[in-house]
Amino acid sequence: MSNNYYQREYETMSREELKALQSERLVRQVRHVWEHVPYYRGLMEQKGVTPEDIRGIDDLHKLPFISKEDLRLQYPYGLLGTDLKNCVRIHSTSGTTGRRVVAFYTQEDIDIWDDCCARAIVAAGGTDEDVCQIAYGFGLFTGGAGLNGGSHKVGCLTLPMSSGNTDRQIQFMMDLKATILCCTPSYAAFIGESLKEKGYKPEDNSLKAGIFGAEPWTEEMRRGIEEALGIKAYDIYGLTETSGPGVAFECEEQTGMHINEDHFAAEIIDPDTGEVLPLGATGELVLTSLDKEAFPLLRYRTRDITMLSVEPCPCGRTFVKMKKPMGRSDDMLIIRGVNVFPSQIETVLLNEGYAPNYQIIVGRENNTDTLDVNVEMSEGTFSDVVKDMERETARLAQAIKTMLGITPRVHLVAPRSIARSEGKAVRVIDNRKLHD
């Protein structure tokens, strides 16, 4: 049992109490949407559902799904749940896949979002004595604003660095003795690499924890970051459509992220049929906001592939846990008929002793898919490996083949030749899309 709760009464409430709370909130949220968002009302009417049919959380499955496509079609104001004059801010997706989506917030929405992020910071050991360095981007992207708000709520001394300018990050980290670092995992890895280059050892900094999310990352990458920075690295999950980071966060057990179920109801569905799957099954995460004013979402299809577990957590929190998402269904590559997640290739490379600096290039030659993987050598491996490049590339190709069942062409490239990420890393180039 830990004492690291920000809102103990919610984070540890019994499942029955939680169900009652979710039910009450869902009924209210559905009425709110029905009354204020004609587009949603239309979707519900099409499905033959009215607010009277939704008596509690067990009726969730009766509601229609909503997808990113709906959000794009309704850009910018079509899903607003309140008068624009009640809104105080917008954020927007980073546009990793396709057109941007704009989300709106009332002050109350921001307050709840900040609470969710505060829970994550406290779960990572944060208190008002901490110095919290926020190296997620500030601006339209939700990462900076979300963790900044959470850090203020906890009472940490907040360093609103935004991403980039790594020399300055390091200087402030050292001079102001930052104890918690918040950024994308790929940027955390880059900061670790830069610290080492400047001659710092992991124990030279004052960091104790990191809160990393906004992109998929593997357990191997977590271990690498933990070693490089001398910290414990916690995962955090969220998306712009549901406010931002803080939908789910890791506790000290690090066996999945607790979903803030007092604010979001979670389901797992079969992405092909839309059928709701039993607990423990792997599928697409569907989220329903329970108390949003400006941008309510009923049964939003996140396209993130994960699974849920209600196993009691030793930390004392009763919220379900979601497994680290492997990537979005639309990140999944189909290469020669085989489903490939970039994270699988990352797992192999890191296990083979490489840093997370790689690039996956998919193409098509003579009507056959090709898979090329550029892998960066470190200064250390460079001289050893250069003697025996062929054997090393064959070894890596074999390791990837064992994982995926298809053989890639591996290319070892010079240290520092692959661009580093200060935000979300772009690791895949799919040239087939250009020709389709």
Residues near ligand ADP (CB under 6 A) are: 93-97, 213-216, 235-237, 239-240, 302, 304, 324-325, 328
CB nearer to ligand ADP: pick between 81 and 256: 256
Where is 180: in which H helix or E strand? strand 180-183
- Residue 313 interaction partner, one of ligand ADP, Zn ion, none, beta carbon < 5-8 Å per kind: Zn ion
Partner whose binding site includes residue 239, from Zn ion, ligand ADP, none (CB under 5 to 8 Å by kind): ligand ADP
Name the residue nearer to Zn ion (CB basis): 189 or 251.
251
According to CB under 5 A, which one of 112, 135, 268, 315 is a site residue for Zn ion? 315
Q: Is 120 a residue that touches Zn ion (CB under 5 A)?
A: no
Q: Determine how β-strand 358-365 pairs with β-strand 338-340.
A: unpaired
Q: Which does 315 bind (CB under 5 to 8 A by kind): Zn ion, ligand ADP, none?
A: Zn ion
Residue 240's binding partner, choosing from ligand ADP, Zn ion, none, with beta-carbon cut-off 5 to 8 A by kind? ligand ADP
Q: What sign does the CA torsion over 156, 161, 164, 166 have?
A: negative
Interacting partner of 213 out of Zn ion, ligand ADP, none (Cβ under 5 to 8 A depending on kind):
ligand ADP
Which of Zn ion, ligand ADP, none has residue 251 at its interface (CB below 5 to 8 Å by kind)? Zn ion
Measured from the CB of residue 251, what is the shortest distance to ligand ADP in angstroms?
14
Measured from the CB atom, the residue of 237 and 264 that comes closer to ligand ADP is: 237
Query: Containing H/E element for 248?
Result: strand 245-250
What is the spatial distance between Cα 126 and Cα 121, in angstroms, rounded to a whole number? Answer: 5
The least distance separating ligand ADP from the CB of residue 1, rounded to whole angstroms, comes to 25
Q: Based on the shown chain and the rule CB under 5 A, indicate whether residue 317 belongs to the binding site for Zn ion.
A: yes
Query: Considering Cα of 107, then 108, then 109, then 110, what sign does the dihedral take?
Result: positive
Q: How far is the CB of 22 from ligand ADP (least distance, A)?
A: 22
Q: Return the number of other C-beta atoms located less than 10 Å from residue 76's C-beta.
A: 12
DSSP β-bridge partners for residue 371: 362
In the complex, minimum distance from the CB of residue 244 to Zn ion, in angstroms, rounded to a whole number = 21
- Residue 214 binding result from ligand ADP, Zn ion, none, given CB thresholds of 5 to 8 Å by partner type: ligand ADP
- For residue 308, the SS3 value is strand
CB of 8 to Zn ion, least distance (A): 13
Evaluate whether 116 touches 132 at the Cβ level (below 8 Å). no
Please list, in sequence order, all residues whose beta carbon lies within 8 angstroms of the beta carbon of residue 354, skipping any fewer than 6 positions away.
375, 376, 377, 378, 381
What is the nearest approach in angstroms of ligand ADP to the Cβ of residue 16? 29
Cβ neighbourhood burial of 69 (10 Å; 0-12, 13-18, 19+): exposed
Nearer to Zn ion, 164 or 312 (CB): 312
Residue 313 makes contact with Zn ion by CB under 5 A? yes
Q: How many whole angstroms separate alpha carbon 205 and alpha carbon 295?
A: 40
Q: Which partner in Zn ion, ligand ADP, none is near 95 (CB below 5 to 8 A by kind)?
A: ligand ADP
- Whether the CB-CB separation of 90 and 77 falls below 8 Å is answered with no
Name which of residues 228 to 257 contact Zn ion (CB under 5 A). Answer: 251, 253
Break the chain down into helix, strand, coil percent, rounded to 5: 35, 25, 40
Binding positions for Zn ion, rule: CB under 5 A? 251, 253, 313, 315, 317
